Amino acid sequence: MLTKLWQWLRRWWQRAPIPHEPQAIGITWPVQSGDIPAGTQVEVVEITPGPRTGEKHDFTYHHLRKDIADVAYNILERFEKLTRKNQDMDYDVSHDLLEEMWGCDFLVWNREIGERMKGGDKWSAVDHEGVEDELADLIWPIDFCVAEQEENYIRLYRIVTVTPQQVRGKVVRVMPKMVRYIMGGMHDDGRWHFVDGYAGLAGKRWTLLKNYKRMPGPDKDARHELVCRIMSSAFTARYEWHVALGTVPGGPRILLPTNPSGALQLFKNRAIPVGKTRREVLKHWVEEHWRENINDLAYVAHHLRGKTKFDWSDFGCELFPSIYDLEKNEFFKQQAKEWRAARKHNRVRVHIKKRA
């Protein structure tokens, strides 16, 4: 007893954590017929966790996964519940436009989710003020869709490059750069509608090209700002990785920005493919390195490797590397090919002595 007391005082003096020793308690275990015989003494061991390290678990991806699933369900479920009786305008017009929107990937304009997905970057890489014509040149031609969440309403937009031949008889003025915009939305109560129109770039401003058959859409200032915002997002998307989430094969999907390392962490809990025993690695960058063969040393350039399609949280998903990364991947491939073709092995004359 005195020995244990001395050990305790010594630990306390050294400010060392005192380990908690399990205590064995003899009790009579209540048993049922057919189990352990009644009256058996069972030794119960009290187990307590060890001393805290002070490190907190990182729940960043746990909360982000939940919020992503909520955003995706909120948008995609509305597509699945569209009915003819709930459309707000002429059915033939809205139905035709819905078909053009059905198979699209919609980039979600949600700044809070976007910043958490990308690590704090903003949506647009450039400010379009004063450079509208230069921005159009950089991304022309364009076919891009976005979705914007509002209270009790989801707005959907798509802008597509059109040629003079495609708009002949539909506009009063033909311009070098023209786009067709489709816009509409879906309410919480099931109501939905879509309209379309045309806009052309006059100098540094997108102006309405009057459409006689269908509604002209938003006012001129709002329309100019809308087209510029979509083009800024399209330009930024060139340098971003994205993940698409859908619920219907061949149907609409939402698109969220991500990055190679972030995607690996975010979708770590993706489903294991049928017939497999482990998850297939997602698309990622492999760093350049040297590979030692039996008779040679080979150079392996940076390259993309891995799968892009996977299932996660009841969604069919697809990971898209950025266009810029895909171009870099082709550049590295060509660079490695040229290196192998230009490599020259050292030629050394070898003299072997004969045994005496």
Identify the weakest region by mean pLDDT among 204-218, 242-256, 278-292, 323-337.
204-218
Helix then strand count (H, E) for the chain reads 9, 16
Tell me what pLDDT residue 94 has.
74
What is the average pLDDT across 271-280? 86
Question: Rounded to whole angstroms, how far apart are CA atoms 213 and 209?
Answer: 12
Tell me what pLDDT residue 328 has.
81
| Mean residue pLDDT across the chain | 76
Identify the weakest region by mean pLDDT among 92-96, 294-298, 306-310.
294-298
Tell me the sheet residues that pair with 41. 28
Domain spans in the chain, listed from the N-terminal domain onward: 60-244, 271-341
> Taking the model in full, what pTM does it have?
0.69
Q: How confident is the model at residue 19 (pLDDT cuts 50, 70, 90)?
A: very low
- Return the structure tokens found at 50: 């060890």
Residue that wins the pLDDT comparison between 285 and 23 = 285
Residue 254 has pLDDT above 90, yes or no: yes
Residue 44 has pLDDT above 60, yes or no: no
Q: How confident is the model at residue 121 (pLDDT cuts 50, 70, 90)?
A: very low
Q: CA nearest 308: which of 325, 330, 290?
A: 325
From the CB of residue 181, how many other CB atoms can be counted at a distance below 10 Å? 21
Residue 351 has pLDDT above 60, yes or no: no
CB 290 within 8 A of CB 309: no
Residue that wins the pLDDT comparison between 227 and 136 = 227
What is the average pLDDT across 286-305? 70
Q: What is the pLDDT of residues 189-225, one digit of tens each?
A: 888 888 888 988 888 888 888 654 444 445 667 778 8
R_g (Cα) of the chain, nearest Å: 32
